[in-house]
């Protein structure tokens, strides 16, 4: 099942894609898609609905982030062998964990304004996990039961704020719009093996990243179990699981985002994102 949110920013309604790929309105069935509605019971209830009975939505409607108001947005750093290699940092022995502000979240086709003065904004295509049940001290074997589904994420990163201005990485990860999530929350039964997904990203039609989740150092189940031992995971929480090689920082010379760049990215079965980069417009 492919769930999504549509409508003006801040006024989105929940929806689903019917078997023809058309958007159907769930707004009269559930309040929203978020922490209170991604639990297994609600997902089962939605799956039992007849999609043809739901109102059809205009295909040109804006698509928002597929999760509303997550409690947290956790990220795993350096989680692909090829990306760790391009950064010159030895692969970590335990997951590198940092937070991205939830205010960074945007829709999958929204233009993105660079952080004011940014000259080192970068891209990171990532597999996102959406948690469906409260998870605390769980094992790797149990982890899949706590996942609601998966989504596409771009963990946009301002490298100067991230790496050159002291403190931890969160400063460079949290700009408004630097966390597009979606277009869809694909529920887990429709993702046969999350460790066998192809992922790619293009800047101005040039392929920059091409990877596979098979290259993860810590796979999805290990990440969920590991995090549950240092923090509670709650329904609606989003985890970005790291990026493969091909980020702008890893190129020689480095290539960072500029005004009018166009980004396009995707992961097998999870849809695509596309948007234009704009200079700070405030
Ligand atoms: Zn990342």
With a cut of 80, say whether residue 281 has pLDDT above it: no
> Pick from 32, 27, 24: which is nearest to 1 by CA?
24
pLDDT surpasses 90 at 8: yes
Distance 7 CA to ligand 1 centre (A): 27
3-class DSSP state of 83: helix
Ligand 1 mean position to 243 CA, how many Å?
Answer: 5
CA distance 70 to 2: 18
Q: Two tokens at 62?
A: 């804006």
236 with 34: CB under 8 angstroms? yes
Whole-number pLDDT of residue 77: 94
Query: Mind listing the pLDDT tens digit for each residue in 115-154?
Result: 999 999 999 999 999 999 999 999 999 999 999 999 999 9
CA 25 – ligand 1 centroid, Å: 32
DSSP-derived 3-state class of residue 224: helix
List C-alpha distances in Å: 276 to 109, 114, 200, 249: 8, 10, 17, 19
pLDDT band of residue 99 (cuts 50, 70, 90) is very high
pLDDT at position 85 over 90: no
- The full set of domains in the chain, from first to last, is 67-278 (3.90.850.10)
pLDDT number for residue 282: 57
Q: Report, as an integer, the average pLDDT of 71-98.
A: 92
Spatial separation of the C-alpha atoms in residues 8 and 27, rounded to whole Å: 14
Ligand 1 centroid from CA 37, angstroms: 26
| Ligand 1 center–CA 1 separation, angstroms | 26
- The reported pLDDT for the residue numbered 74 is 98
Which helix (H) or strand (E) segment holds residue 206: the answer is strand 206-212
Quote the CA–CA distance of 4 and 8 in Å, as a whole number.
13
The predicted model gives 268-279 an average pLDDT of: 97
pTM: 0.97
Q: Please report the pLDDT score of residue 157 as a whole number.
A: 98
DSSP state of 255: -
Q: Kindly provide the b/e burial profile for residues 125-143, where b requires at least 16 CB atoms within 10 angstroms of the residue's own CB.
A: bbbbbbbbeebeebeeeeb
């Amino acid at each position: 099942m492919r769930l999504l949110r549509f409508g003006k920013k801040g006024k989105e309604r929940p929806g689903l894609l019917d078997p023809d790929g058309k958007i159907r309105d769930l707004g009269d069935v559930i309040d929203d898609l978020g922490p209170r509605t991604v639990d297994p019971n609600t997902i089962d209830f939605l799956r039992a609905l007849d999609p043809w009975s739901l109102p059809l939505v205009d295909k040109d409607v804006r698509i928002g982030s597929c999760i509303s108001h997550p409690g947290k947005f956790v990220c795993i750093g350096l989680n692909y062998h090829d990306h760790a290699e391009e950064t010159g940092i030895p692969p970590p022995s335990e997951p590198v964990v940092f937070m991205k502000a939830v205010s960074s979240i945007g829709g999958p086709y929204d233009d993105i304004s660079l952080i004011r003065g940014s000259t080192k904004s970068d891209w990171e295509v990532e597999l996102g996990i959406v948690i469906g049940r409260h998870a605390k001290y769980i094992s790797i074997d149990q982890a899949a039961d706590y996942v609601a589904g998966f989504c596409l994420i771009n963990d946009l990163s301002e490298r100067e704020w991230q790496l050159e201005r002291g403190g931890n990485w969160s400063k460079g990860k949290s700009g408004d719009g630097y966390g597009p999530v979606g277009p869809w929350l694909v529920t887990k039964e429709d993702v046969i093996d999350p460790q066998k997904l192809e992922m790619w990203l293009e800047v101005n039609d040039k392929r920059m990243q091409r990877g596979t989740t098979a290259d993860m150092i810590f796979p999805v189940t290990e990440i969920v179990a590991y995090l549950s031992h240092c923090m509670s995971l709650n329904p609606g929480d989003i985890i970005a699981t790291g990026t493969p090689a091909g980020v702008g920082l890893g190129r020689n010379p480095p290539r960072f985002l500029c005004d009018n760049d166009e980004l396009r990215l995707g992961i097998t079965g999870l849809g695509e994102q596309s948007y234009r980069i704009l200079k700070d417009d405030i």
